[in-house]
Homo-oligomer: A and B are copies of this chain.
Amino acid sequence: MTPSKTPRRPTAPRQRAAGRQDWSTWPHYDAAASGFKGYWYPVVWSNRVTGKPSAFTLCGERVVLIRDAGTAYALHDRCPHRGVPLSYGKQEFPGTLSCPYHGWTFGLADGVLSAVITDGPDSPICGKVSVRTYPVAERLGMVWVYVPIADEEPHPIDEQLPEELVGNAFMLGARMEPRVGNWRLACENGYDEGHAKYLHRTALWRLFKAMPTWNTTRIERKGRWIFRVQEEQYWEADFPGLGVWTNKRWWKLRPPARGASNIGNTGASGGVDPVIAEQEFPGFASVSMPGVLRIAYPNFIHYEFYVPVDADNHQYVGVMVNFRKGLGPLVFSVKYLAWIRWLFHGQFSGQDAWMVEATHCPPERLYRPDVSLTSWRSLAEGDYRDKLAALGLAEEDTK
């Protein structure tokens, strides 16, 4: 072996754009690593909440869930006596939950210590201790929990659900799973304008439908939501000095001749479901607080809820909803179980999970399509600031 090469060295001057070093532009958003309190979050399937308690961590708080006489309850999952999780215990009397260690027994509705089995009926501590309770609701076959800011009353959950899910009948297919990574990175990934066209180009979900190579983007606010709209779409691009890039393939459907639809990202198909049409969505993808993504297709809507667990973990809840009547729901259910669940909520969404786990920012250096991200951050920042103001809370009170 005779060495011959000389070391290679950079030929161009090293230049770096500084980029954004932190998220201090959006201080509440920056502080919400463990989630925004003051909202409803779907935590578990309704049929998993039974008389046997189970645990969930929401916004960094450990919660025990239990069902009694048909109603689901949520309490802080810590016995104030010695700190044992109440979710290790069981229901000894109707309407209560007992700690496994000494039989401290708390009322499910109010959290008040109503009996201590090992201290007799005259135990003087009864009524003097309580555990925190959390408002609970059930929607979409799931149990939703609200972690209040200070002592606020929760807003009605129907004011927070996507509007079209209140008052309309529908059929849904869904997937809930724990994922690694902060909930904000998951939400930003979901609403991110730029990534799908490249990251998901290999997804089987897009096997027959091309996506643009690139496009220009407009953000439009409507009510609680911001929509992103692809204005000009380019199916091929010739990058100077590098070559041509295209997302078109001979086996894929041809993209529409002109203009983008506001429903679906490959142009309208045969027709749009009337419930979806009447929503008059300005764009394909929209997002609202506290991290709800809505993707409108002609015949169904896909939602993603990014549920904050703690600073390093979130729960992904993917929901596909169909509003058709008659045999429609049945057909949809078969389609969901046969392939949507695996292709979309599985492989496609798995690419997102991979990126959410791999993302490490700030620092970050944003580019044109990231107007979607900064618009979402500004929406979150403003809505939360307004919420605090409406509660009459100085911001320090929420720490």
Chain A residues at the B interface, C-beta cutoff of 8 Å = 1-3, 5-12, 14-17, 19, 71-73, 78, 80-85, 88, 92-94, 96, 98, 100-105, 107, 109-112, 114-121, 123-125, 128-130, 132-133, 135-141, 146, 151, 153-154, 156-158, 161, 165-167, 169-172, 192, 194-195, 197-199, 213-214, 234, 237-243, 245, 354-355, 358-361, 363-369
In the complex, the answer to whether B101 meets A199 with C-beta atoms within 8 Å is yes
Q: Within the assembled complex, what's the spacing in Å between the Cα atoms of A123 and B80?
A: 58
CB-CB under 8 A from A241, the residues of chain B are 114
* Chain B nearest Cβ from A217, distance in angstroms: 10
Q: Within the assembled complex, what's the spacing in Å between the Cα atoms of A115 and B213?
A: 13
Contact of A198 among B7, B9, B117, B167 (CB under 8 A): B117
Beyond A17-B129, A93-B242, whether A85 also contacts B7 by CB under 8 A is: no
Contact of A92 among B1, B93, B104, B245 (CB under 8 A): B245
CB-CB under 8 A from A369, the residues of chain B are 102, 118-119
In the complex, the answer to whether B103 meets A198 with C-beta atoms within 8 Å is yes
Q: Within the assembled complex, what's the spacing in Å between the Cα atoms of A112 and B12?
A: 8
24 contacts between A and B (CB under 8 A): A7-B156, A8-B136, A8-B137, A9-B153, A10-B109, A10-B110, A10-B133, A11-B109, A12-B109, A14-B133, A15-B129, A81-B366, A81-B367, A82-B360, A82-B361, A83-B364, A100-B355, A102-B198, A115-B242, A119-B194, A119-B369, A120-B214, A121-B240, A123-B367
Chain B residue at smallest Cβ distance from A245? B117
Chain B residue at smallest Cβ distance from A124? B368
Q: Within the assembled complex, what's the spacing in Å between the Cα atoms of A140 and B1?
A: 7
* Chain B nearest Cβ from A373, distance in angstroms: 9
Interface centre among A107, A115, A367 (most CB of B within 10 A): A367
Q: Within the assembled complex, what's the spacing in Å between the Cα atoms of A192 and B72?
A: 33
* Chain B nearest Cβ from A137, distance in angstroms: 4
Q: Within the assembled complex, what's the spacing in Å between the Cα atoms of A153 and B135?
A: 61
Beyond A83-B364, A96-B242, A358-B88, whether A157 also contacts B120 by CB under 8 A is: no
